[in-house]
């Protein structure tokens, strides 16, 4: 007899079939004639209702052990359920309790907890309905990412986590140390030379795999990364993490238009695929978390994204009768409130903003003919703001060298990056999608710390 997953049993199980299920008790309801136990195994939102009859061996002892949170294996027979809202239930023949959960101390009782509280028990919160749904959707998103690129012949490449370069030039780097901290007086941090950390060299946790992805694109054509990235920005917002996952496609023989087309097709594919894979979970988010979740998905899939230049965006913002907290003027970066205004209120769909001023973008972006703007693109989404950042890259050696000089970037540290422009250079482009931002977008979860199992952010590192 096979051990079944509850999602599968609820979908296809037939009365009379014998099954074994393994999971955790959600609730127990003791009646005179029998006891109902709701068991969840993480495979779906729904619980399987297990019916325990008093003629079960050790009935009384088992009931005492079967509290919320206990782990259990039930062997039994599927029967039609007389109860409303469920087709079948499981009549238990044997019940084995693996681990009890003391009702006096186990915190995940029936009452609802705030997300703030649940964040402090990240080792248990995955057993709740909301986080169960979040992490199933997260998994479906990840599968959709690979499916999208693999179907299009992109090579999945693995870029280093420990790196010597600051791709974004924003100075938001975590330092990596190989020093033997056991032999250092930790109170005297001045004794540590952070510029010589990594076996005598300077090293950081990567902020982006882009520069390495460019190397690989110039050999394989189309590639993508999907891995963790790190930013030491001390921002306590609902959209920033110190450790987040990023997907970065990079395409040789590609310009900004091709880049925008890929970004749009990519987001549409992710939404479509997750709608297919996790309809019940998305329904749950729509009912319980944010009632625009399904409409948003529909909007993404069925509408063409708006495409405007930064200069047009500034004009639209200046023209609007909204008062913004942050100033708007040509040359200043767009703040989250501006991004959300454009996507959420003005266009009511994702907006791709291109051709930002050079001064507010990274060194590697391709300079436009006007000498002031670069071939940048940001995809702005309702609710979350910037979800994708990308650009066509500067493939011309002389212009790149001038730009690096102006920004005082040492060419000796990026000699290999310059080499790519010396040997077989080609127009190329790519972007980075913040994985947690897309999961946030899809689920309607307000805080980014609630869409990654173990969030790393200021004041958030217990394990
Ligand atoms: O716009 P960013 O900084 O772009 C890059 O890193 C480029 N090298 C990407 C490329 O062209 N290959 O970051 C890309 C995306 C952002 O649009 C955002 O969705 C996400 O990464 N992101 C963050 N997500 C969570 N927490 C943070 N601290 C994030 N910083 C950026
Ligand atoms: Mg950006």
How far does CA 309 lie from the centroid of its chain?
27
d(Cα 39, Cα 56) in Å, to the nearest integer? Answer: 18
Per-residue tokens: 289: 């978390």
Q: Tell me the mean pLDDT in the region 15-24.
A: 97
**Distance of CA 262 from the midpoint of ligand 2 (Å):** 17
What percent of the chain stands above pLDDT 70?
95
Q: By C-alpha distance, which of 206, 187, 272, 287 is closest to 244?
A: 206
* 241 touches 207 (CB < 8 A): no
d(Cα 341, Cα 440) in Å, to the nearest integer? Answer: 18
Can you say whether residue 95 is alpha, beta or left, with left for phi > 0 and alpha for psi between -120 and 50 degrees? beta
DSSP 8-state symbol, 52 = E
Q: Please tell me the CATH code under which domain 3-99 is placed.
A: 2.40.50.140
What percent of the chain stands above pLDDT 90?
86
Q: Tell me the mean pLDDT in the region 101-105.
A: 95
**Distance of CA 196 from the midpoint of ligand 2 (Å):** 29
What are the boundaries of each domain within the chain?
3-99, 126-172+207-450
pLDDT category of residue 247 using cuts at 50, 70 and 90? very high
Integer angstrom CA distances of residue 323 from 16, 281, 315: 65, 37, 14
> Which protein residues are within 6 Å of ligand 1, measured from CB?
167-168, 208, 210, 231, 233, 240-241, 244, 246, 248, 386-391, 430-432, 434, 436-437
Taking the CA of 231 as reference, the closest ligand is 1
pLDDT of residue 201: 83
pLDDT of residue 427: 98
pLDDT of residue 255: 98
CB-side neighbour CA atoms (13 Å) of 337: 9
pLDDT of residue 233: 82
pLDDT of residue 63: 95
Spell out the CATH class of 126-172+207-450: alpha beta
pLDDT of residue 171: 80
Q: For 402-458, write each residue's pLDDT tens digit.
A: 999 999 999 999 999 999 999 999 999 999 999 999 999 999 999 999 999 999 987
* Per-residue pLDDT at 180 exceeds 90: no
Q: Give the residue ranges of DSSP H helices in 72-191.
A: 115-119, 129-151
pLDDT of residue 192: 61
Question: In the block, which residue shows the tokens 């209702």?
Answer: 49
d(Cα 243, Cα 232) in Å, to the nearest integer? Answer: 9
**Distance of CA 191 from the midpoint of ligand 2 (Å):** 35
The residue whose CA has the least distance to atom 28 of ligand 1 is 240
Which atom in ligand 1 lies closest to the alpha carbon of residue 167?
A: 8
- Residues 6 or more apart whose Cβ sits within 8 Å of residue 325: 335, 337
Taking the CA of 388 as reference, the closest ligand is 1
**Distance of CA 437 from the midpoint of ligand 1 (Å):** 10
The residue whose CA has the least distance to atom 2 of ligand 1 is 389
pLDDT of residue 193: 63
């Amino acid at each position: 007899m096979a051990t079944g997953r509850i999602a599968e049993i609820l979908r296809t199980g037939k009365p009379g079939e014998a099954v074994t299920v393994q999971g955790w008790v959600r609730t127990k309801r003791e009646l005179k004639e029998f006891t109902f136990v709701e068991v969840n195994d993480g495979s779906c939102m729904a619980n399987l209702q297990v019916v325990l009859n008093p003629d079960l061996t050790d009935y009384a002892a088992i009931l005492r052990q079967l509290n919320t949170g206990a782990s259990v294996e039930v062997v039994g027979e599927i029967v039609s359920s007389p109860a409303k809202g469920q087709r079948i239930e499981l009549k238990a023949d044997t019940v084995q309790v693996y681990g009890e959960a003391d009702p006096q101390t186990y915190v995940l009782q029936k009452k609802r907890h705030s997300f703030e509280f649940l964040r402090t028990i990240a080792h248990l919160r995955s057993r709740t309905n909301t986080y169960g749904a979040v992490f199933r959707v997260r998994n479906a998103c990840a599968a959709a990412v690979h499916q999208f690129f693999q179907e299009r012949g992109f090579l999945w490449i693995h870029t280093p986590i420990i790196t010597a370069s600051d791709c974004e030039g924003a100075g938001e780097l975590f330092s990596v140390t190989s020093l033997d901290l056991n032999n250092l007086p930790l109170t005297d941090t001045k004794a540590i030379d952070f510029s010589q950390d990594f076996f005598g060299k300077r090293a950081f946790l990567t902020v982006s795999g882009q520069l390495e992805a460019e190397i690989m694109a110039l050999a394989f054509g189309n590639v993508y990364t999907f891995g963790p990235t790190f930013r030491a920005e001390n921002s306590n917002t609902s959209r920033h993490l110190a450790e987040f996952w990023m997907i970065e496609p990079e395409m040789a023989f590609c310009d900004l238009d091709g880049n925008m087309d890929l970004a749009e097709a990519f987001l549409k594919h992710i939404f479509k695929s997750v709608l297919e894979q996790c309809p019940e979970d998305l329904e749950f988010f729509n009912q319980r978390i944010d009632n625009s979740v399904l409409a948003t998905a529909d909007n993404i899939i069925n509408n063409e994204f708006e495409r405007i230049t930064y200069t047009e965006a500034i004009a639209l913002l200046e023209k609007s009768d909204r008062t913004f907290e942050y100033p708007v003027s040509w040359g200043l970066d767009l703040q989250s409130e501006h991004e959300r205004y454009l996507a959420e209120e003005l266009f009511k769909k994702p907006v791709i903003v291109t051709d930002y001023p050079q001064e507010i973008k990274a060194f590697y972006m391709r300079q436009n003919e006007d000498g002031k703007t670069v071939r940048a693109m940001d995809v702005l989404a309702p609710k979350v703001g910037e979800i994708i950042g990308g650009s066509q890259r500067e493939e011309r050696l002389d212009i790149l060298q001038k730009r690096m000089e102006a920004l005082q970037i040492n060419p000796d540290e990026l000699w290999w990056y310059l080499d790519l422009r010396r040997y077989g250079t080609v127009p190329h482009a790519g972007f980075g999608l913040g994985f947690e931002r897309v999961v946030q977008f899809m689920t309607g979860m307000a805080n980014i710390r609630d869409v990654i199992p173990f969030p790393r952010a200021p004041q958030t590192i217990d394990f």
